[in-house]
Structure 1
Amino acid sequence: MATETRENWGSRVGFILAAIGSAVGLGNIWRFPGVAYENGGGAFLVPYLVALTTAGIPLLIMEFTIGRRYRGSAPVAYRRMNRNAEVIGWWQVAISMIIAVYYAAIIAWAGWYGFYSISQQWGADPNAFLMGDFLQASDGFGDFGTWLPGIGLAMVVVWGFTLLVIGAGIKKGIETTSKIFIPLLLVMFAVMVVQALTLDGAVEGLNAFFTPDWEAVREPGVWLAAYGQIFFSLSVGFGIMVTYASYLKRKSDITTSAFTVGFANSSFEILAGIGVFAALGFIAFESGVPIADQAYAGVGLAFVAFPTIINTLPYMAGLFGVLFFASLVVAGWTSMVSIVQVPVAAMEDRFGWGRKKATLILGGFMTVVSVALLPTASGLMFLDVTDYFINQYGIAVAAPVSIAVVVWVMWRWKALRDDANATSTIKIGPIWFVCLGVITPVALAGILFFNICDLVTADADSSLYTYNQYQAFGWSLALGALAFGVIMALVLRRREVPEIESEEDVEIREEATR
């Protein structure tokens, strides 16, 4: 049987920056500040850091080790562990494809809003502009007839740059852009935060964000929120980190990389919370509207609250807006590159396609679907429903399943632990098994249970999607991703994967490339 020669990252720094670029996404900027504020303010940092060290980093170590040890995209890596586990990899591929379809739309919106910031084109009522002039949002779910050329063309540009980078390869494409755009993101966002801190009312905003409510720490829901935030912000559970780690060299330090990525992601989230609530404190100062009554998370924060803030800034309003929305674009785009890389790598590894062929065919298909559905009057509703169901009932199920299969069914945690320790400065012991095999699955199961309870008990006027058409569509996506994984695994069951290069061959090849 033929052996597989796999491209490697050019440097450890390149891999870490790419992994950070994947982890630091839109959710860091518009989800974490609101989650922290609603769950105890400064006190939330306690369960948040506990969740990072007992779930986020252990899961990163597992996925990094699986990728490096089995040197393949998610379907191939799980197949090399066990023939019956390939379904998990294809399940994760389907989830990544669905996310990529709608992720491009948000990046395109942020790009347009960065341009609008220069002259505050959204006018005096940002909410009316967003829902009316910009999105032309429909109350219905099937209005895909009105296509919005401005958003559509921006999405084509987003997809074009994404596929261009992926087509260029790991070292020349993803690594090179990560080395440029991740430092750029940090600089832009830091400048924006510094400007926000100089505004009137910034201190009151920070007090609202950081003042601890220690009673909240006693609530189980706060701890579940902390685990959920860590889990959804680290890009774990849907094949990204397994795929990225499959391009690592054999002697790469696994655990130190996991700690670096985990803490870098959390540091950016806290920085985002500082910037967002300093700005919200300013708008509370100017308008007299309490922070608790403002939009401090999600689409409302980015495309309504921040334009409102920009409208009332006393100086350099255009610069503030450009920096904020450019940060959204860069954070979202680096994450999107990693998301699209998952299915592209799977097609390369499992069907023997070249990188350019896989990028062109698969990327072209996702581009067409994305550009056809999202820039329409029903695009926002499509995005909301898809994001909710694919995250809460797709990723949140696939991740604990992968952990249970790897740790408990196949009992591979010892082999993975030894593999990681062989080349890592920070050694992991039995506590890693406890965190990965017990704490993380229990936390994820709790999150899933309460999500289902919320969906079942929500009334028709709530923000959850209880109407039949939304439920049917959402569940069809979540269950369809699993069905795709099962079908692909069955179809390819008799098709063997190439053998992994021997240690000697890898060392000879890596020495030749130094």
Structure 2
Amino acid sequence: MVRESWASRVGFILAAVGSAVGLGNVWRFPWMTAEYGGSAFLVVYLCIVLLVGVPGLLAEFVIGRRSNRNPAGALARLAPGTKSWGYVGLFGVVTALILLSFYSVVGGWIVRYFLASFSGSYFADPSGYFGTISFGWEAVAFQVAFLALTALVVLGGVRRGIEAATKVMMPLIVVLLAVLAGWAVTRPGAGAGLSFYLHFDPAPIKNDPIGMLRAAAGQALFTLSLGVGTMITYASYLGEDNSLPFDGSVIAVLNTAVGVLAGLVVFPLLFAFQGGLTEVTRGGESGAIFMGVAGAFREMPYGEVVAVGFFAAILFAALSSSISMLEIPVAYLVDEQDVSRRNATLGLTALVLVTGAVCALTPSVFTFVAGTLVDLMLTAGLAGFLVFTGWILGKNALAEFDSGAGGIARSLGTPWLWGVRTILPLFLLVTLALNLYSLLSG
């Protein structure tokens, strides 16, 4: 079976950015920022993206391009005779399925809010509306609709499905958010929202440094799609002429820019039309942004129009990430088990329909999976990939890093490998230990 590849470098970058630019940016990031004090969280998050996220992204790229395989096949191929590393890669495949299980539920919420925005049916009672539709059999029905859209793209393959779709969706996400941000920041009262978001106040860091670190690290890995093997899978379709340092930097910058842009929409709207953060948006709940912005839309002129644009952007972002989550296990079945793309996509979609339905019907399961479990699995997964890159691949990883890179980028290879071998895995292991301690003591 001939393995697929990207049609263009731009297609790969947009697909990778699309994977990273998802609900982590426009759903999770704003309410995490609200819960942890605004600008303080933003600063810590940006530092972790730069110092941990980008090197981790490059490590996954190195594994993927060198192996031309999915996460499980990649680690098994690059460490022949050592089955244990293949299991580390398989852990990433399982993580992708667990991620998609809760992610598809939130995707269903977005589909519903997008449709309801045309009439503004949730404006009158934002909290009550979310409480009614968030869990139950109707939530399952919209989860099915979201998964069907995801599967339709993955069925098309790498070029005709994923690459073609993300080339359309990514520009639309940026344009919609930029237009909304440009309008939001000019509203009377928006300045207070900008100050909360962008004016640095170190107090939240001093008050809860461990909690801030855990939250920002989990958010950074979630938004960059690290620790699950997405970037290993996407890089496996790459050619040798691509500069991995350049592509990784572009992807990280674009992903972070979209997250910051989403904040420039949400916080000015909340402060301009609701006078600030409510208990809902400050509480860090999964429905915080849905309820918070709905209240703002209710108060503004032409709220339905703004709401349609906002939820359209979120829907495109959600789809661009869910596509990558489904592609990971699909690639595993196609590469390792010789299953056709069609059968792999349909079979895995059916599996996630079941596991996602459990999340949609049981709020406590959803909360645990979407928060604690995902943070633990992503942190453990990326730590495994970094140790593999630094100690198993070693000089081969450095050679892959240098392949296609220019002189300046190549000069960064040795310090990158040193960090991947030592500092970054230690940081992730400490974060993992803190998360486990919080889980067991909580």
The two structures share one fold, judged by TM-score above 0.5: yes
Q: Is the counterpart of residue 244 in structure 1 residue 228 in structure 2? A: no
Alpha-carbon spacing, 1:381–1:217, altered in 2? closer, same or farther (3 Å): closer
Judge conservation of contact 2:31–2:289 (CA < 8 Å) in 1. Answer: no
- For residues 276-327 of structure 1, give each alpha carbon's deviation from its aligned partner in whole angstroms, at most 9, with x where no partner exists: 1101112343xxxx427451545332221111111111x1100111112112
Q: Which residue number in structure 1 is paired with residue 358 of structure 2?
A: 373
Judge conservation of contact 1:100–1:339 (CA < 8 Å) in 2. Answer: yes
Aligned 1:3-402 pairs, distance under 5 A:
5-37=2-34, 39=36, 41-82=38-79, 83-84=82-83, 85-132=85-132, 134-135=133-134, 137=135, 147-148=137-138, 151-214=139-202, 220-221=209-210, 222-285=212-275, 290-291=276-277, 293-296=279-282, 297-313=284-300, 315-370=301-356, 372-376=357-361, 378=362, 380-402=363-385
Judge conservation of contact 2:20–2:224 (CA < 8 Å) in 1. Answer: yes
- For residues 152-186 of structure 1, give each alpha carbon's deviation from its aligned partner in whole angstroms, at most 9, with x where no partner exists: 33333222221121111101110000100110111
Q: 2-side partners of 1:40 and 1:381: how far apart?
A: 26
SS in 2 for 1:250: coil
Judge conservation of contact 1:30–1:298 (CA < 8 Å) in 2. Answer: no
Q: Which residue number in structure 2 is paired with residue 483 of structure 1?
A: none
Which piece of structure 1 moves more, 221-230 or 434-443? 221-230
How many residue pairs are counted as aligned between the two chains? 433
SS in 1 for 2:200: coil
- For residues 211-242 of structure 1, give each alpha carbon's deviation from its aligned partner in whole angstroms, at most 9, with x where no partner exists: 21145566743445433332221001111110
Judge conservation of contact 1:188–1:323 (CA < 8 Å) in 2. Answer: yes
- For residues 92-132 of structure 1, give each alpha carbon's deviation from its aligned partner in whole angstroms, at most 9, with x where no partner exists: 11111111122112111111112222232125321122213
Structure 2 unaligned spans of 5+? none
SS in 2 for 1:260: helix
Which piece of structure 1 moves more, 158-167 or 89-98? 158-167
Q: Which residue number in structure 2 is paired with residue 494 of structure 1?
A: none
Judge conservation of contact 2:101–2:353 (CA < 8 Å) in 1. Answer: yes
Structure 1 unaligned spans of 5+? 138-145, 459-514
SS in 2 for 1:7: coil
- RMSD after superposition: 2.2
Alpha-carbon spacing, 1:228–1:104, altered in 2? closer, same or farther (3 Å): closer
Alpha-carbon spacing, 1:321–1:49, altered in 2? closer, same or farther (3 Å): same
Which piece of structure 1 moves more, 105-114 or 173-182? 105-114
Q: 2-side partners of 1:126 and 1:35: how far apart?
A: 20
Question: By how many angstroms is 1:47 displaced?
Answer: 3.6
Kindly indicate which of the two structures has a greater share of residues assigned to helix: 2
Question: By how many angstroms is 1:448 displaced?
Answer: 1.8
Letter in 2 for 1:96: A
Question: By how many angstroms is 1:73 displaced?
Answer: 0.7
1:422 pairs with one of 380, 385, 403 = 403
- For residues 238-278 of structure 1, give each alpha carbon's deviation from its aligned partner in whole angstroms, at most 9, with x where no partner exists: 11110011000122221111000011111111111111110
TM-score (norm 1): 0.79
SS in 2 for 1:423: coil
Q: Which residue number in structure 2 is paired with residue 507 of structure 1?
A: none
Percent identity for Structure 1 against Structure 2: 30
Q: Which residue number in structure 2 is paired with residue 512 of structure 1?
A: none
